[in-house]
Chains A and B, each alone.
Chain A
């Protein structure tokens, strides 16, 4: 192992030659991977010279050229194809939040049915995205004879449909509340006479640099920023009310026999009171929408650490797996939505051919 700190590296003729050959690749590809490919070439060539002498070096150039003529045209074709399909993307990145979203719902280990439901909509139409934003909805159904499943399904479908149907509503928070009230009316309407079904709901709209977050019942939305986690929604449950009244401590609430008893739900009657919160958001922020099957077993701080380490895609899996490993007594649902920090996605070191 040789140390060459702060020494300007001399570029060998072979490397200079390889740098020229790299010009055959599309510009964006070179920008992203050029430095790594040169580094790889250097390692490869050094090993070939060290272990195989001239024959190995000649073989290396043969393999290198074969690889080059095969892959450079492919990258050009892909670059053109991407240009054709993603022409709008750069504009969207600048004007609207670029969202990275992952979601997952799971029956858990003990239940037969999954009464949780989720949906999200990120409008393709950039005008609509600018005006109405993207919506995320999670619902947890209650009721016997599979009715919990029906109720949560009605809620997520109605909330997203009713939200975007209010095309000209200026006030996003009010539109979101009305959409959730519409879901309440729809669940009530579809409940068979003499029976009961209901669902909780938490929903978030990300529009511009603001998140509008609403809830009814005990499904939650958290906001993660700079490694800190904040619960935005306030549960409408017996234990949460008792905690707010100072009767129960947090630890007592977590093990209370009536911790699943909710004091507000969708489908319980003609009207419902919906809480709505408005939070400024910025790049890098993450919203987690989840049901009690997740937060009952995985602490908010654990969720934050997982998302920070693994990003939305993988942490959505890990969150569910974590709750299952701890018993998975209830259905588990999580939506992880990150306002992507585009500047941090790919830092390219400057290099010249």
Chain B
């Protein structure tokens, strides 16, 4: 009757919003607007996450233990208001990795079926 932690796979597939948030926190902790900026910057503005989507997702990610509140402090790039910073937990990182692997497998299938171009075309991008 061993009871172990939930498996990261139980959370898959992630919604695009959640996956984007986890990716935004992959390299460092960020506050809410920092997450929005990171996503908008990385996708050249094609993905824009509003505050409702952002905080609705943050709420559930906190409840499931995928992210945690890191600190409350001002952001030197913004103003002197204190901001709540979020960070990825180890478990969140595992879930993110599992999702990335799942997507990679799908992409491999797409490549094998020539839905996507081969490596040469990627190299040309």
A contact residues vs B (CB 8 Å cutoff): 1-5, 25, 29, 32-33, 36-37, 39-41, 43-44, 47, 63-64, 66-68, 70-72, 74-75, 102-105, 117-120, 153, 156-157, 310-311, 313-314, 316-318
Contact = CB atoms under 8 A, between A and B. Distances in A.
A318 B32 contact: no
B67 to A, nearest CB: 11
A314 B48 CA distance: 31
Contacts of B50: 63-64, 66-68, 71
Contacts of A67: 49-53
B2 interface: yes
B5 A103 contact: yes
A118 B80 contact: no
A41 B50 CA distance: 9
Given A316-B5, A317-B91, A318-B90, A311 B54 contact: no
Contact of B4 (A25, A103, A153): A103
Interface stretch (B19-27, B71-79, B98-106, B111-119): B71-79
A68 B90 contact: no
Contacts of A310: 89
B78 A71 contact: no
Nearest to B65: A313
A3 B80 CA distance: 6
A307 to B, nearest CB: 14
Nearest to B17: A71
Contact of B52 (A25, A104, A313, A317): A25
Given A118-B2, A314-B90, A40 B65 contact: no
B81 A33 contact: no
A25 B90 CA distance: 31
A2 B77 CA distance: 10
B3 interface: yes
B53 A71 contact: yes
B79 A40 contact: no
Contacts of A66: 50
A40 B55 CA distance: 10
B98 to A, nearest CB: 15
Given A37-B51, A39-B81, A314-B68, 6 more contacts: A29-B55, A43-B33, A68-B50, A71-B56, A119-B3, A314-B91
B59 interface: yes
B125 interface: no
Contact of B36 (A44, A72, A153): A44
B3 A120 contact: yes
Contacts of B95: none
B1 interface: yes
Nearest to B74: A1
B96 interface: no
Nearest to B89: A314
13 contacts: A36-B84, A40-B33, A41-B51, A44-B33, A64-B50, A67-B50, A71-B50, A105-B4, A118-B2, A119-B1, A119-B2, A313-B5, A314-B68
Contacts of B1: 117, 119, 153, 156-157
